[in-house]
Amino acid sequence: MKNTVKSISLLSLALVLGACGTSAPTASAPIGSTPAANRASILKATPNTPTLWFVELAGDPTTLSVQSVSGQQASFRAQAAQQGVKYQEVRSFQTLFNGFSVQASEAEINRISRLPGVLGVYPVKEIAAPKVEVNLTDALTPDMFSAIKMTGADVAQNELGLTGKGIKVGVIDTGIDLEHPAFAGRVVAQYDFVGDDYDFGKPTKPDPIADDCGGHGSHVAGIVGGNDASKGFKGVAPEVSFGAYRVFGCDGSTSEDIMIAAMEQAYKDGMQVVNLSIGSAFENWEGTPSAKVGSRMVKKGMIVVASAGNSGASGQYSMGGVTMGDNVISVASISNTEIEVNKFTLSSGETIPFMAGDPAPTGKAGVTLPITKLATSTTTTATDGCLVGTANPYAAGSLTGKAVLIRRGTCTFYEKAKNAQDAGASAVILYNRDSGYLAPSLTGASSITIPVAFVNDASGAKIDSKIAAGVSMTFADGKISIPSPTANTLDSYSSYGLSADLELKPDISAPGGNIRSAYPLEKGNGGYATLSGTSMASPHVAGAAALMLQAFPNTKAKDMRGLLMNSATLRWYRNPAGTLFTGLPDYVQRQGAGMVDIVGSYYNTVRATPNKLSLGESASFATRNKVVVLKNTWTRTETFKAYHYPALTVGGTTLAPAASQAYATMTINGQDADKADVMVTVPAGGETELNVVITAPAGAPDKSQYGGYIVLESSSGQNMVIPYAGFKGDYQSIQALGNLTIGGASYNFPALFDDKEDTFFEEGEVATAPIDYTFKGIALDPSKPTELTNDAPYVIAQLSHQVRKMTMELLDANGAVVDTLLKQEYLGRNCTNNVALTSNTCDAYNTYAWDGKLSNGNAAANGTYQLRLKALKAQGDESVATDTEVYTTQKFTVARP
């Protein structure tokens, strides 16, 4: 019963993962059949395997008594038992989340979702350990480089006397190294939820102390407020007290329900500020459990700071997790002004900094090599080191035992390095044709096995001038500090907003690229390391919040975000080629209000409400009217000049954003804020309203995200920014259920899969033979007869955008609804639409399976059926037909023997 027109071997689907990452999409075509002995490699999520889910009950625990919450949960358990629902309770929550995490099949969780009092069910997400670049060395004084100066923390400490003393900061992470001198005697609360050996899916074995064997948590805590006098190291708030909440083992991932348990514990322990440098990419809804818990922490008086995420390379709408919570402070990453790089020395005495090619070795310290170059090479040669036709420009063996100097230009870094390697070179020195440094990509058809050092144009010219007289290089140990080529701009990995509800996120930015801070002593290197990521940006803002809370102890948790945001300073856009664009600020959807300015926050006495403006879609409101209230908390009248400062618009596509200079227009109090300053006076101790009218940019691309700032400047030195953001066009016009690229071919998904026949059926495809399922265990690999897969239907869907609600229905032969099999809410989009680009942190599709049972637990009778997926779009209205995308499978037969 093989469909021979558009069917695909499921093993082939798995094989193309590693083989076709750079293939260009082609027309849809069959990939071919698979030898039966290899079918164990099928790429799919096994249907009907028990999954970890959140079950949320209707009552908000922050407004109910403990007795009421306990009563609701007892009632749920009783009803589930009475109806014979099969599940295993893993954790229960009563403080900030009313419900449980449970182990249950999709069929059982759907039955649970229909029980009285159940507000919703959500998959418990696996949260990968934060990925960061780690440079271990003790060659330099670990003072966080210039990062502490970028935020004004140094001035706050040395001139304003702010240290965070008396403020308790909870760090939910890999723990804190309790023996490290940067934290000596300052960890006042700790809780280990997992143990050293924990990974997602494994049992937890908590330790008595929340010590850190991973490193990430100590680094984060060091940025918040480490203090090591012996090394001259200080974090942002060097006298805070810490709560250490360990949710990761030494390696591997954690579970979202464990993270929520830690958030509840931090609340119970009285933490005033909590930092979460962890998240769940693409789950960018305020209504997901972790974001909702973050919101409730703020509601209960805690300042919650969370990283925006490191999924910027995956495009728009890529944030997720706690950072999406209402009044949670979401933090993007800005590159440090200085970076640590490798170095070598010349025989003439100069030390040369370099960035290492990737992937390639960095060079063994002490190795000395004479430097040479092509006879035709000059400091203006564009084709230096490139193939001449198809010939290597270097004679075979001519570079043996030598380092070769090659100028950037024309061909790829890989081609230049490969040609040198093939001629016997022991190292390559690439130098820039422009100013600055970069890390050259050396990905190609085969490996580069020799060091490739990239230096700037000045260093390249210096080396070039010495070759004729004879010069050698020696790789040196340790690192050297140089000005960052991306200084003070958004790091490319920092995730994009907006939220799925079109709320403006992230909120603010801070240094995150190349930050030096504490690291576990057991890892050596003096207990310090340089890491990069939004994980490093978030604790800068958590530390800043601690300083502001010390300075202004009556500040409400929900108001801290505005205090920090409205004093931020804007950053400008650096394009993928490294060129800085100074015409308009970087996307609001990447930097929020801009770089945190601690000193500005301390001195600003005027507060803005709201502190940011989310404008929604222009199809509904092409022009939006907003009122911003300015409140003066001081005894001096402030007069501002107010004007509109638009930012770049995010054009392109979801997966490939592109900058557009089309921008909105604005009036303030009836005056054109694009052409002239609008004078605004805020009386001492009083309030003034700004009546703001923003019109979406007519020239912006459809489905783009625009944004900008209301800027207020006072003669007294107070400067404020109020960011805004909106969506150009009809938000529901974004396609949610997309096609899937497999082996370079685009297939019309969603699709119905049939494991027994090793095929799938694209949307709208006419099956050439009957499709049936027996729901019996089948061995896909004859050599492993005991490894069985259930012969059952399942649908694979590619989510190109966030989905508010996904429903799967069972239809009879006439298309009538027999039952609702599955209902999920607040779904994140997939990371990619190409299976060749997937990884353990980036998926291309979701799987929706049917186990042959109805929602009441009874088996469906043999007969003819269809499955129907209904995807309610983000901000969609179920009463509007076009707001829901519908996919219906081909008819199939349930044919149990």
Q: Which of 697, 696, 699, 703 is nearest to 729 (CA)?
A: 703
C-alpha distances in Å from residue 93, one per residue of 117, 174, 263, 414, 803: 15, 22, 11, 53, 26
Beta-ladder partners of 169: 242, 273
Look-up: residue for tokens 């193309």? 16
Report which DSSP code applies to 881.
G
Q: Which of 798, 725, 790, 797 is nearest to 756 (CA)?
A: 790
Please give the Cα distance from 9 to 839 (Å, whole number).
21
Q: Which of 31, 27, 28 is nearest to 13 (CA)?
A: 31
Q: Are 531 and 310 in contact (CB under 8 A)?
A: no
Q: How many CA atoms lie within 13 A of 663 on its CB side?
A: 20
Report which DSSP code applies to 634.
S
Is 180 annotated as catalytic? no
In SS3 terms, 514-570 reads as CEEEECCHHHCHHHEEEEECHHHHHHHHHHHHHHHHHHCCCCCHHHHHHHHHCCCEC
Please give the Cα distance from 852 to 258 (Å, whole number).
32
Residue 73 has φ and ψ, to the nearest 5°, of -70, -40
Helix axes 289-299, 256-268, angle to 10 degrees: 10
C-alpha distances in Å from residue 423, one per residue of 395, 440, 521: 6, 20, 44
Q: Max CA-CA distance within the chain?
A: 90
Q: Which of 236, 294, 238 is nearest to 267 (CA)?
A: 294
- Long-range contacts (CB closer than 8 Å, 24 or more residues apart) made by 79-82: 79/115, 79/116, 79/117, 80/112, 80/115
Residue in 9, 318, 494, 535 annotated catalytic: 535
Is 758 annotated as catalytic? no
E-strand stretches of 265-357: 273-276, 303-307, 329-335, 338-346, 351-356
Q: Say which amino acid occupies 637.
A: T
Q: Which of 126, 64, 128 is nearest to 99 (CA)?
A: 64
Q: Say which amino acid occupies 835.
A: V
Please give the Cα distance from 290 to 279 (Å, whole number).
9
Report which DSSP code applies to 830.
P
Is 540 annotated as catalytic? no
Look-up: residue for tokens 């709208």? 764
Please give the Cα distance from 659 to 85 (Å, whole number).
51
Q: Around Cβ 602, how many Cβ atoms within 10 Å?
A: 21
Please give the Cα distance from 844 to 837 (Å, whole number).
8
Look-up: residue for tokens 């003819």? 864
Please give the Cα distance from 354 to 361 (Å, whole number).
13
3-class DSSP state of 65: coil
Tokens of 319: 């944030």
Question: Of how many residues is the chain composed?
Answer: 897
Q: How many CA atoms lie within 13 A of 714 on its CB side?
A: 20
Look-up: residue for tokens 């209230």? 629
3-class DSSP state of 246: strand
Residue in 12, 154, 173, 567 annotated catalytic: 173
Residue in 9, 92, 216, 501 annotated catalytic: 216
Tokens of 300: 């209960």
Determine the distance from the C-alpha atom of residue 864 to the mean position of all C-alpha atoms in its chain, rounded to a whole number: 43
Indicate which residues carry an active-site annotation. Answer: 173, 216, 535
